[in-house]
Structure 1
Amino acid sequence: MQDEGISRARFLAAGLAGAAGALLPAGSAAAKERWGLSYRGVCYEVTDGETAETGWNATRMRTDIRAIKDRLHADSVSVFGDGAGRLKATATEAAERGLHVWLQPRLADRPPHEILDHLAETGRHAERLRRQGARVHLSVGCEFVLFVPGIVPGADAVERIRNLMSGNYDPQQMMRRLTAFIAQAAKVGRSVFHGPLTYGAAEGDEVDWRLFDLVSVNYYSYFQDPARHVRELRKYQRRHKPVVVSEFGSCTYKGAPQKGGMGWDVVDYDKPKPEIKGHLVRSERTQAAYLTGLLDVFEAMGLYAAMTYNFVTPDAPHRRDPRYDLDMAGYSIVKTIWGTENDPTSHWHWQPKEAFHALARHYARPHRRLDPA
């Protein structure tokens, strides 16, 4: 039944366009015929890995960026993570390959002033690329509630998620602190970067979008009826600014799309060897169908850009034994194959999943680009 529900998301283009038009405000710019995304791409993480072998590597990065351009047929890449050097090198490589670049520093669990300094350094590099003729947007960060200490209780993102889910926080205090930090980040971003600016908001975040040129949301909702996605997303179009789905994705097992942004929470890390909880059934088809179904919705609505989360997760290897197939709990569109069962070694590599091939076919379709004025 779950696979049948996902297949319903793949409406014919005309039907989706009709649903989008019927649900958008009459006479609005978004209600006019604007078929197709301006930018279609993938998120690429540069944060260092858990081991020396799975950490960021310039040679691997260049190979990955070539694959994103030439094999995935993406025209855009969201470069995110921490480490200004890694961010700069990856963004430069992507720009030189002719890709449009979304650059998003994501320093986590550090004092707020360090996070803002990290943003400033990254933003200055984005401005240099822009002046050299690169197509680049700067995102000042992502879901600050999770990554910036002091907005909600918790020593790290996982602990903050648990506190949010259990109600162990003050909602009014959280919103005051979040709003203040977003404003600080926007001010820093504007001071160093003079191109289009945005922020990767979580669904439901209250953001003063007057501070930014584009409205961006990390979107992990699941509905069998595509019209429900249109209803959820149209509120972002009411800002009369280009709308970006800065992240959308699914893990790789049956039922994963229904779990949305918490699909990863199926691994028992207390075991001697991290183990999948329960009896999940691996399904690359489920992941692929969810991604392409959402792309049909985004294109029918004429959104500005959409970035699939995520390209590769080196520390979540695919294994034949389902109990230890950590790739099932990952959002990546390629599966990591370690050199040995328990050790990545320097010879680990990735292989495309069904999602990679489905996206490649989708991204290879002709489309027109509508850049903000």
Structure 2
Amino acid sequence: MPSGGINRAQFLAGAGAVTVAAAAGELLGAGPASATGPRKSGLTYRGVCYEVGAGETPATGWNAARMRADMCAIKDRLHATTVSVFGDGVERLCATASEAAERGLHVWLQPRLGDRPEREILDHLAETGRYAERLRRHGARVHLSVGCEFVLFVPGIVPGDSAVERIENIMKGNFDPVLMQRRLKRFIGRAAAVGRSVFGGSLTYGAAEDDEVDWGLFDIVSVNYYAYHRSRDAYVRDLKPYRRWGKPVAVTEFGTCTFRGAPEQGGMGWDVVDYSKEPPEIKGGLVRSERTQAAYIADVLEVFESMNLYSATLYNFVSPDAPHTADARHDLDMASYSIVKTIREGAAGRWHWEPKEAFHTVAEHFARAGRRG
């Protein structure tokens, strides 16, 4: 067991015996105070996002053995101190969070069930939150995020039967912004109430940059931040308003894709693949550039450190369904935010990952910052 981790046998022996209090008031004692802790220069937590989805094929879906190896790499090779475990499937979320906690990593646990009825999304949140509470009661450092960018993932806030359709409608202006905000506020409130009812630690929500959120409902102010500016001062001006709530500020997603000009595309860098073709093709004659990705990440990390933000988690660790190939037309990894590249090993679906330049840049930054701290 790594130093600072949770012993698996001890955790499993006791976790099932924990009864979560039903009343939110009984659970709030470890809320805001656990989020702040002793302040120091730079980020308090530095890490990466890790998805636990089913994948497009069984070969690229979540796998317990692969996940354990990845958590080891995140802790020992990337030198991260935190990991944001997100996706759907409560068993996958919980197993990954437990592995991360056992290795001594701080954990952000974020259920992200999309394109389902509201009741199912909230039930999925409640079940995940109960497990997060059991982890917390047994010594893990864990925060619960009630979800991410509900405008995109929760049906009914803007028109569209899927997240992709809702993105298209937003970009085309096919929505009522006043009605959208009213619906978003209502669902965020419902999710916050569910989170409070089952989890006694610090609570947050992964907001988009333009979301209007009542941060009084949460202990940590969180933003998914994909902006591009030519100066670091501009990033600081962007992020300063999040401090007005007097709470810890976390960047719960940031990063860029792997081609020249990707940072300017922000959170839409992924939208450069023509999936109408078989196999899918990269559009527009883009040029792969691991250097571009690494340089952008290095710049914004320095901004976050200089502002003494609470946490920054890089999106994303690995994207198994976006493999790298030497053929630029079919190099789907160019449209990926991951800091490792997926390498296919033949027709059987086998694959492995290799670090990109950004992986090494982030690892050096995290190790250096850890020595300072």
| Aligned counterpart in structure 2 of residue 296 of structure 1, from 291, 297, 302 | 302
Residue of structure 1 equivalent to 2:141: 135
Q: CA deviation at 1:366?
A: 3.9
Counterpart of 2:350 in structure 1 is 347
1:67 aligned partner: 73
Question: What are the equivalent positions in structure 2 for 1:1-373 lying under 5 Å apart?
Answer: 35-340=41-346, 343=347, 345-367=348-370
1:227 Cα deviation from its structure 2 partner: 0.2
Shift of 1:35: 2.4
Amino acid at match of 1:152: V
Q: Letter of the 2:86 partner, please give it.
A: F
Counterpart code for 2:54: D
- Pairwise CA distance, 1:61: 0.4
Compute the displacement of 1:292 (Å): 1.0
Q: How many residues align?
A: 336
Q: Which amino acid aligns with 2:251?
A: V
Which segments of 5 or more consecutive residues in structure 2 lack a partner in the other structure? 1-38
Cα shift readout 1:53-96 (whole Å, capped 9, x = no counterpart): 10110000000000000000001000000000000000000000
Q: What percentage of aligned pairs have identical amino acids?
A: 71
Aligned partners of 1:38 and 1:367 also within 8 Å: no
The Cα shift of 1:122 comes to: 0.3
TM-fit CA distance, 1:272: 1.7
Asked if the contact 1:37/1:369 (under 8 Å) is kept, the reply is: no
Structure 2 Cα separation of the partners of residues 346 and 320 of structure 1: 18
Deviations 1:252-273 (A, max 9, x none): 0000000000000000000021
1:368 Cα shift? 8.9
TM-score (norm. length: structure 1): 0.88
Q: How many Å separate the matches in 1 of 2:350 and 2:163? A: 31
Q: Distance in 1 between matches of 2:76 and 2:349?
A: 24
Q: Residues 311-347 of structure 1, C-alpha deviation per residue, up to 9 Å, x if partnerless? A: 000000000000000000000000000112xx4x353
Give, in angstroms, the shift of residue 239 of structure 1: 1.1
3-state secondary structure, aligned to 2:245: coil
CA RMSD of aligned residues (A): 1.4
Flag the structure with more relative contact order, 1 or 2, with Cα contacts below 8 A and sequence separation at least 6.
Answer: 1
> Take 1:48 and 1:307, find their aligned partners in 2: how far apart are those partners?
22
Separation of aligned partners in 2, 1:204 and 1:314: 29
The residue type equivalent to 1:286 in the other structure is T
Per the alignment, residue 11 of structure 1 pairs with none
Q: Report the TM-score when normalising by structure 2.
A: 0.88
- Secondary structure, in 3 states, of the residue corresponding to 2:67? helix
For residues 343-371 of structure 1, the C-alpha deviation after alignment (integer angstroms, 9 at most, x for no partner) is 4x35310000000000000000244999x
Give the unaligned 5+ runs of structure 1.
1-32
- Separation in 2, partners of 1:279, 1:92: 43
Letter in 1 for 2:359: F
Q: CA deviation at 1:204?
A: 1.2
| Distance in structure 1 (CA, Å) of the matches to 2:352 and 2:78 | 17
Mapped partners of 2:218, 2:57: distance in 1? 37
